[in-house]
Chains A and B, each alone.
Chain A
């Protein structure tokens, strides 16, 4: 079936550096995308979202880029901090598709001091 996947299972960065987490999706009908942060033993925490009529959206220290041509999504974290260490998931959804989210496989971000 349709799936959302990630290229890197683990990403290690130095504190203060920028992080880029990538996600490939396969459902061309998806029109809403979300990045979640999940710390160990906790539920997913919303970071940022983007709709298919946009290709870039910025938040506080985070930027999401959407390339619909190649079905690619990325999350950029500026000045990565130790508190950013977590697993990051992208998720996709189709408006009118029962509001269901399909999650990617996740990337473990490790911030080294």
Chain B
């Protein structure tokens, strides 16, 4: 149980285009999902917290107009990188916190999406 999927697993796009990444909790409901970015040989950096039915909360330094997050249902959150540029190339990982599953902050991670902007 507690499986999180991401789609696509990798994507290559041209500079200036927008890319949408989906994060789904397959066997549980997630009121909260998180989006991370990871550059090569670096740690995961939290970008934003996505709550179902409300606006996402972005971490300091993350442009909310560039990284659009939508959490329309209890099993799906999407991250759209708008007007992507080469510096946005990274590994994007989502995680989901199961509603009422544990009293603590256990998160289940997706497999990640590799974005390459040419």
Q: Are chains A and B native binding partners rather than an unrelated pairing?
A: yes
Q: Is the CB of B43 within 8 A of A43?
A: no
Q: Is the CB of B108 within 8 A of A46?
A: yes
Across the interface, name the chain A residue whose C-beta is closest to B97. A99
Across the interface, name the chain A residue whose C-beta is closest to B43. A103
Give the interface size class of chain B: 20 to 34
Task: Tell me, in angstroms, the Cα distance from A44 to B34 when the chains sit together.
Answer: 13
Smallest CB separation, B116 vs chain A (Å): 13
Q: Is the CB of A43 within 8 A of B107?
A: no
Q: Is the CB of A106 within 8 A of B112?
A: no
Report if A44-B104 is in contact (Cβ < 8 Å); known contacts: A99-B97, A100-B49.
no
Smallest CB separation, A78 vs chain B (Å): 24
Smallest CB separation, A105 vs chain B (Å): 5
Residues from chain A with a CB closer than 8 A to the CB of B111 are 42-43
Residues from chain B with a CB closer than 8 A to the CB of A104 are 43
A51 at the interface (CB under 8 A from B): yes
Contact sample, A vs B, 29 pairs, CB 8 Å cutoff: A32-B105, A36-B109, A41-B91, A41-B112, A41-B114, A42-B112, A43-B4, A43-B6, A43-B95, A43-B110, A43-B111, A44-B93, A45-B109, A46-B106, A46-B108, A49-B104, A51-B104, A89-B43, A89-B44, A93-B105, A99-B34, A99-B49, A100-B34, A100-B49, A101-B107, A103-B45, A104-B43, A105-B43, A106-B42
